[in-house]
Every structure is written in structure tokens, then in C-alpha cells.
């Protein structure tokens, strides 16, 4: 495996050793999620704080290297990354997978695959990387491509063209680059895409942001809602709200009408809780959002 990152740009805060992060890192957090034993945060970038020692740690570091959207992770030694490449899509739970291979154009957003007899669903867009495409072909391809919002669409055209997938995006988030989507969700009402798939408009982060609820268990939450490891809670943030915080607060309240156990976001951490704990967390999140709205007004 060739070194992907640039040695001459190696971040000064990396611990010495083979693996390193260079200064092109955009702080998407994925390496810290995938290989927390090796990567840590130093403010607005990641570095290697502990060189992998076990084969498991090395495998995780290589998966982070493969997934990094900016090719900012490197190894001074040639390493065989075949198994790490083949690890994606990686099972999260049951028939739900994390795709890895993040794209810089979606700022390293996570994308997911649901494998279903009725046709697979790709949620947001990973990089259109040949090994991932081939793996997804073997897993049955892609029938629906659900785009949560305008920012995380990345290589959607290539995925849709390759698999003949129907893309779904809210009309309010369609732009020139997504004008060819096959299906537009409109308004604020939830739309049943299939028996087990519900598109729920959640305006706020963007005007047309929409989340996907699968089997009343998995909420693919885009940039509407995520788990914060720092606060140990479900979270949304005004600092990344591009459309309307009051609308996002209202959308969050409306999510209380639904039941789910998983939050699988584009950015931020994923989380699995019992549905009752998830509801408590969501209620607390809404309370904080309302308080922040009052402070701001």
C-alpha cells in the first residue's frame, strides 16, 4: 500500500512511528470513531497519539486510512490494506451497514446501507470508490438512494447511474447539482417510501433536511441530530444550523412522535439506546434547544 498522506505535511503533534496524520485533515472525526486507540483530537485536527501495537489496532487504523475523506492519514511503511478495504460496508446492526469511504465534498459525512429483500437503500453518498461499488454490487446493489439534505450528496450521480437507483431528496434542498433526482419529497408531512421506510422532513439544518426512519428502530438523522461524546447526550448545534434554529427545534419536537433505538448521523457519533432512554434524551435535547432559542431571541 502506498503512503496516502504527505510526509512533508506530517502534523508536528503526531507521536513518532509509522502512522501519521498530515495537516490537510478537515477534522471530520471519522478516524477517532473508527480507531480511537490510535487517533485523537488536538483542537481542530486529528493526530496519531498512539501507534497501533496489536493486529486489531492496526486493522482499525487502516480502516480509518481508507475512510479518511482527504487522504490525510499515512503510513511510512508499505502495508497491506486489502482486508481493511474489504471491511466496507461494515455491519453496524442486523442489516444496517456503515459504508466507510467518506467523501471530502460532503465533509466526511457518514453514509449507510440497508440491505433488504425489497431493494437496498443507500443513505447519503460515500465516495464512488471501485472496491466499495463492487462490494455493494455483491450485496444486491442500490434501489433507493436517500439524500438527507443538500450538503451530503457527494457522488450521488455516479451511484445512481451505476445502480439505476431512484434518488430521493426534499424539494427545498434540490440545487443545480441535484436537479436530476428522481423523486422529490415536499412539505412537512412524513412520506411512507415503503412499508418499513418513512421519510420525515426536519427543516432546520437546511430548509429541506429530511431524516429516514427504518423499521421504527433506526433513525438516519443526517445533520439534524447526533450523539455527542463530549456531552454524553443527543445533540444538535446552532453553530451548524444553516437555515433556522427555531425550525430545527420544531422539527426536533416532532420527532418525539416517533419511536427509534438508533441514531445514525452524517456527522457526529452514532448511538444505540433503548427506545425509552432515546425518548428521554430527545426530550432533553428539545428542552436545551428551546432554552437556546429563548436566549438568542
Contacting ligand SF4 within 187-226 (CB under 6 A): none
CB nearer to ligand SF4: give 89 or 108: 108
CB nearer to ligand SF4: give 38 or 235: 38
From the list 66, 73, 168, 263, which residue makes contact with ligand SF4 (rule: CB under 6 A)? 73
30 is a contact residue toward ligand SF4 (CB under 6 A): yes
Give the interface size with ligand SF4 as a residue count (CB under 6 A). Answer: 16
CB nearer to ligand SF4: give 89 or 203: 89
Integer CA distances (angstroms), 92 to 29, 85, 105, 182, 245, in order:
18, 16, 24, 28, 31
Min. distance of Cβ 29 from ligand SF4 in angstroms? 5
46 is a contact residue toward ligand SF4 (CB under 6 A): yes
The whole-angstrom separation of Cα 148 and Cα 170 is: 8
Please write down the long-range contacts of 165-171, taking CB distance under 8 Å and 24 or more positions apart.
165/122, 165/141, 168/144, 168/193, 168/199, 169/208, 169/210, 170/201, 170/207, 170/208, 170/209, 170/210, 171/208
The whole-angstrom separation of Cα 212 and Cα 45 is: 30
From the list 4, 9, 26, 229, which residue makes contact with ligand SF4 (rule: CB under 6 A)? 26
Q: What angle do CA 270, 116, 123 make, to 5 degrees?
A: 40
From the list 1, 17, 29, 228, which residue makes contact with ligand SF4 (rule: CB under 6 A)? 29
Stretch in the footprint of ligand SF4 (CB under 6 A) among 67-75, 226-234, 235-243, 277-285: 67-75
The whole-angstrom separation of Cα 229 and Cα 291 is: 21
Bridge partners (DSSP) listed for residue 264: 220
From the list 3, 31, 154, 219, which residue makes contact with ligand SF4 (rule: CB under 6 A)? 31
Which pairing describes strands 144-146 and 166-170: parallel, antiparallel, or unpaired? parallel
Contact 63, 100 (CB under 8 A): yes
Q: How does DSSP classify residue 22?
A: B
70 is a contact residue toward ligand SF4 (CB under 6 A): yes
Contacting ligand SF4 within 160-179 (CB under 6 A): none
Mark residues 79-108: x for contact with ligand SF4 by CB under 6 A, - for none.
Answer: -----------------------------x
69 is a contact residue toward ligand SF4 (CB under 6 A): yes
CB atoms near residue 253 (< 10 Å):
15
- Where do contacts with ligand SF4 occur on this chain (CB under 6 A)? 21, 25-31, 46, 64, 68-70, 72-73, 108
Amino acid at each position: 500500500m502506498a503512503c496516502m498522506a504527505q510526509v512533508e505535511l506530517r502534523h508536528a503533534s503526531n507521536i513518532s512511528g509509522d502512522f501519521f496524520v498530515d495537516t490537510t485533515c478537515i477534522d471530520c472525526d471519522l478516524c477517532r470513531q473508527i480507531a480511537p486507540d490510535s487517533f485523537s483530537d488536538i483542537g481542530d485536527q486529528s493526530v496519531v497519539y498512539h501507534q497501533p501495537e496489536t493486529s486489531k489496532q492496526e486493522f482499525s487504523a487502516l480502516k480509518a486510512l481508507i475512510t479518511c475523506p482527504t487522504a490525510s492519514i499515512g503510513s511510512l511503511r508499505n502495508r497491506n490494506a486489502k482486508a481493511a478495504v474489504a471491511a466496507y460496508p461494515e455491519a453496524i446492526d442486523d442489516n444496517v451497514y456503515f459504508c466507510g469511504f467518506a467523501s471530502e465534498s460532503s465533509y466526511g459525512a457518514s453514509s449507510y446501507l440497508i440491505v433488504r429483500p425489497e431493494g437496498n437503500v443507500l443513505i447519503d453518498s460515500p465516495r464512488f470508490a471501485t472496491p466499495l461499488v463492487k462490494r455493494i454490487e455483491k450485496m444486491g446493489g442500490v434501489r433507493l438512494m436517500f439524500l438527507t439534505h443538500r450538503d451530503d450528496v457527494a457522488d450521488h450521480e455516479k451511484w445512481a447511474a451505476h445502480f439505476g437507483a431512484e434518488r430521493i431528496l426534499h424539494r427545498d434542498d434540490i440545487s443545480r447539482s441535484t436537479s436530476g433526482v428522481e423523486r422529490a419529497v415536499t412539505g412537512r408531512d412524513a412520506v411512507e417510501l415503503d412499508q418499513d421506510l418513512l421519510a420525515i422532513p426536519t427543516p432546520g439544518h437546511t430548509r429541506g433536511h429530511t431524516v429516514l426512519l427504518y423499521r421504527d428502530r433506526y433513525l438516519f438523522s443526517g445533520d439534524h441530530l447526533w450523539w455527542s461524546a463530549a456531552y454524553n447526550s443527543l445533540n444538535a448545534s446552532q453553530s451548524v444550523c444553516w437555515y433556522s434554529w427555531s425550525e430545527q427545534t420544531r422539527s426536533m419536537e416532532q420527532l418525539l412522535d416517533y419511536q427509534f433505538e438508533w441514531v445514525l448521523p452524517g456527522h457526529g457519533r452514532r448511538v444505540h439506546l433503548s427506545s425509552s432512554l432515546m425518548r428521554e434524551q430527545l426530550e432533553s435535547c428539545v428542552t436545551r434547544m428551546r432554552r437556546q432559542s429563548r436566549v438568542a431571541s
